[in-house]
Amino acid sequence: MAKVLGQGLEALIKTYNTDIDVNISYPKIPIRKIVPNKNQPRNKFDATKMESLAKSIAEKGILQPLTVRKNDSNEFELIAGERRLRAAKKVGLLEVPVYIINISNESEMMELALIENIQRVDLNPMEEAEGYAILRGKYGFTQSKIAISVSKSRSEIANKLRLLRLPPQIQEGLKNKKVEYGHARALLGFRKSSIMLKLYTKIIKSNLNVRQTEELIKTVLGKTNTSKRLTKNYMTEEKKLHAYLNTKISIKNTSKEKGQIVIKFNDKQNLKDILKKIYE
């Protein structure tokens, strides 16, 4: 596909490398005959922006036609224009202008819907990630193909898809703008959900900005890596003590120079055996 992002969906459709046929006469069709796009990547709409759009449509009408395709039930399935359709319903319009596209390929339909949303109003990062995931998982798109389709770098697609690794609570927080994309990316430096959630709570409670969050993450990661590195140095000693005492041994640092040896026992007799070997 040619990189026409930002030139409007009509330009995009005209250069789309498929057999799509577009009716450029922009006919008007009844709103009641338009059915939702089941692959709509956007699921949250800013109330203030929706109100502004509704007011604009009430005053000037719909300047940019919705994009639809005719289905087997003689209805029109929405491909792009969810916000305009909702605003049109809000102000009581009975019909809207449309592009009617003859397209049967579901992946191309999803692609157009996703691109249209990126062109008009930036998707929430989580919604964007979910849209890419559908293209990848359901329709077999590679990250490279997604990148070409939406005129973004492959690394950007990969970073957005990584957001799906976040715990559900953080994903919801990103959708609801409790945290920003930068916060979420920083949290992905950890693998454990428990650590992510603990830091997420601190970010919200302390109202940390992205830079402060990144510094916090660096500090925590530094401590974690140091702890792992110091502990690893004692693996040989742990194995020797385990072989001698026949029980599980753990040697850990509590500071740079200090630490502790933890000797585990299963019962009183096991403890006596261990102590006997120590006293020998």
pLDDT digits (tens, 9 = 90+) for 124-143: 899 889 888 888 887 788 99
Which residues form the catalytic set? 82
Q: What is the CATH number of the domain that holds 37?
A: 3.90.1530.10
Range scoring the smallest mean pLDDT among 88-102, 119-133, 146-160:
119-133
Give the pLDDT of residue 204. Answer: 94
Give the pLDDT of residue 37. Answer: 76
CA 138 to centroid of chain Cα atoms: 16
Share of the chain above pLDDT 90, in %: 29
Residue 266: give the domain boundaries: 234-279
Give the pLDDT of residue 119. Answer: 55
Banded pLDDT at 227 (limits 50, 70, 90): low
Judgement on whether residues 81 and 175 belong to the same structural domain of the protein: no
Contacts of 152 (CB under 8 A, 6+ apart): none
Closest CA to 145 of 98, 189, 172, 110: 110
The C-alpha atoms of residue 238 and residue 245 are separated, in whole angstroms, by 10
The C-alpha atoms of residue 57 and residue 51 are separated, in whole angstroms, by 10
61 compared with 105, residue with greater pLDDT: 61
Banded pLDDT at 101 (limits 50, 70, 90): confident
* Summary mean pLDDT of the chain: 81
Number of compact structural domains in the chain = 3
Give the pLDDT of residue 120. Answer: 57
Judgement on whether residues 33 and 96 belong to the same structural domain of the protein: yes
Residue 189 lies in a domain: yes
Q: Are 141 and 107 in contact (CB under 8 A)?
A: yes
Q: 120-125, long-range: CB within 8 Å, 24+ apart, which pairs?
A: 120/83, 121/46, 121/49, 121/83, 123/41, 123/42, 124/42, 124/44, 124/174, 124/175, 124/177, 125/160, 125/163, 125/174, 125/181, 125/184
Q: What are phi and psi of 276, to 5 degrees?
A: -60, -40
| pTM value > 0.85 | no
CA 54 to centroid of chain Cα atoms: 29
Judgement on whether residues 113 and 208 belong to the same structural domain of the protein: no
Judgement on whether residues 20 and 43 belong to the same structural domain of the protein: yes
